[in-house]
Amino acid sequence: MLSRGLWSWIGVLLLSSGLASADLIEVVGGVQVEGEVLALTNRGVEYDPTGEVTFYVIPWHDLVAVRYADGRAVHCERRAPNAGPSAGSDLIEVRDGSLVQGLVLRVIAEGVEYDPAGELTFYVIPWHDILTVRYADGKTLLFDRLAQRANPAPTQPVAAAAPAVPKTPAEPVRLRDTLGLEAMFGWNSSVGGGVLLDLGLWDHLQLAAGLGTGMWGLRATGLTRLFFRRQPYGAALGFGYTYNGGGDTTVESTVDDQNATSNYTFDPVGTLNVFFHYAIDTNPTYTARLFFEVGYAFRFGEAGYQLLHGEALDDEVTFMQPGGVILAAGFGLGLL
């Protein structure tokens, strides 16, 4: 008897059975899922079951094979992790007998996209040149360019002999954000302490806008992050502008062992922020991540201020002015 998780994949299949030339994804339990295969990664297979922009992912441990509409196929196996000089790296076995070492980013219709070891430049090896892809953790993709479908575009799941204890596919996950929510705090961070909405336009580009508060009053920001790999994870270079609203503020300090309180008005001032961003995956189902930022905030002009009442505390006010080293941390969560 098929589990409820497997019936969920069958439901996806029935919804998409109208596609005459769809790709097929074989999962455990003998179920086949139709859709447009977008990419294979170390997490699983990205596919579009309905032709909409939103895509889903079937996790790696549920995959048996991926069969493309044109007859090409990729078989999924799990082997021992790579050892020796290639330990910790992915390997691409090419049909001429050579081995290419690096970080395999994804398998797409054109071939395998990878990042050579120690570089940040991406290359693609054409599909017809590839025999296998062996991930560092032992996951292996076997490429079959001559495979033909026995039953193209089925309208019902193929009921293969079920294992004694069939595995249940996990819920689909997203590998990148379309829309996300972030909470951030830190020294000279873009919003001081506050929240941002981020928008993922492409795999490597993310825009964000947010509001928060800092020592120089309300902060409003807009920023761009350029990811080296796929957003929202990993490393990125960021650029942004922050408006520091200023306003009336009470400053407290200790002068000659006595508490001193003064009232100031801070003038608005802006900063140009340049920073390095790094995000760590904490829950891929919701693209949840912890992130850290370091950089520098360049102030536009002077951060003016006027003493309204009390003793002059110029050193304390100078310490509060926007600009300088950026040290920030935060948490992000995918919404769409």
Q: Is 199 exposed, middle or buried (0-12, 13-18, 19+ CB in 10 A)?
A: middle
Q: Report which of 335, 291, 334, 332 is spatially closest to residue 183, judged by C-alpha positions.
A: 332
Instruction: Spell out the long-range contacts of 305-308 with Cβ–Cβ below 8 A and sequence spacing 24 or more.
Output: 305/246, 305/264, 305/265, 305/266, 305/267, 306/264, 306/265, 307/262, 307/263, 307/264, 308/248, 308/262, 308/263, 308/264, 308/265
pLDDT the model gives residue 17: 43
pLDDT tens-digit readout, 164-202: 333 333 344 444 557 889 999 999 999 999 999 999 887
Q: Which of 10-19, 36-45, 46-55, 304-313 has the highest mean pLDDT?
A: 304-313
pLDDT tens-digit readout, 104-151: 888 888 888 887 765 555 678 888 889 999 998 888 999 886 654 444
pLDDT the model gives residue 61: 84
- Report residue 264's pLDDT band, with 50, 70 and 90 as the boundaries: very high
- Would you say residue 246 has pLDDT above 90? yes
State how far the alpha carbon of 32 is from the alpha carbons of 24, 49, 50, 271, in Å.
Answer: 6, 12, 15, 54
How does the average pLDDT of the chain come out, rounded? 80
Handedness of CA 244, 247, 250, 253 (dihedral sign): positive
- Report residue 324's pLDDT band, with 50, 70 and 90 as the boundaries: very high
pLDDT tens-digit readout, 66-87: 988 888 899 998 888 877 666 7
Handedness of CA 75, 76, 82, 85 (dihedral sign): positive
> What value does the mean pLDDT take over residues 11-32?
65
- Would you say residue 50 has pLDDT above 90? no
Domain boundaries, the chain: 4-144, 179-334
Name the residue with higher pLDDT: 221 or 284.
221
Q: Is this prediction's pTM over 0.85?
A: no
Choosing among 2.30.30, 2.40.160, 2.60.40, 2.30.29, the CATH entry for 179-334 is 2.40.160
Name the residue with higher pLDDT: 173 or 249.
249
